[in-house]
Amino acid sequence: MIERSGTTGYRGDLAGLRDDGSADQTLQNLLKSMTLALDLRARYRVFEFEAAQEGHRDVAALFSRLRAVEGQQVTELGQRLHEHLGQLNATNGKPAR
């Protein structure tokens, strides 16, 4: 669970942070995007496997490439999320304007 204090800001797991009603909209959007990207990346792996099992190697390769792109997006979202949390911590949880 996320705990928030005036001196240390946010800490805890992402689900708790996502559910924290005091988080700014940008943080909420980053967290929603991360959740969607992780889910989609996992689904692409299943889709790739199923296409390969059915003999559709070209489609399986497409899902493999899409999964790699989604992995890059997860990495970038993670970096931006980390930066945004650092900014919130620096301003005691208030969004920088």
User: Per residue in 18-71, pLDDT tens?
Assistant: 666 667 899 999 999 999 999 999 999 999 999 999 999 999 999 999 999 999
SS3 12: coil
CA distances from 9 to 1, 14, 70, 95 (A): 13, 14, 29, 12
pLDDT band per the 50, 70, 90 thresholds, residue 97: low
Locate tokens 């931006």: which residue? 80
Q: Where are the extended beta strands (E) located within 1-97?
A: 3-5, 9-11
- In the chain, domain spans: 10-88
The confidence score (pLDDT) of residue 1 equals 34
The distance from CA 49 to its chain's CA centroid, rounded to whole angstroms, is: 23
pTM over 0.75: no
The confidence score (pLDDT) of residue 70 equals 96
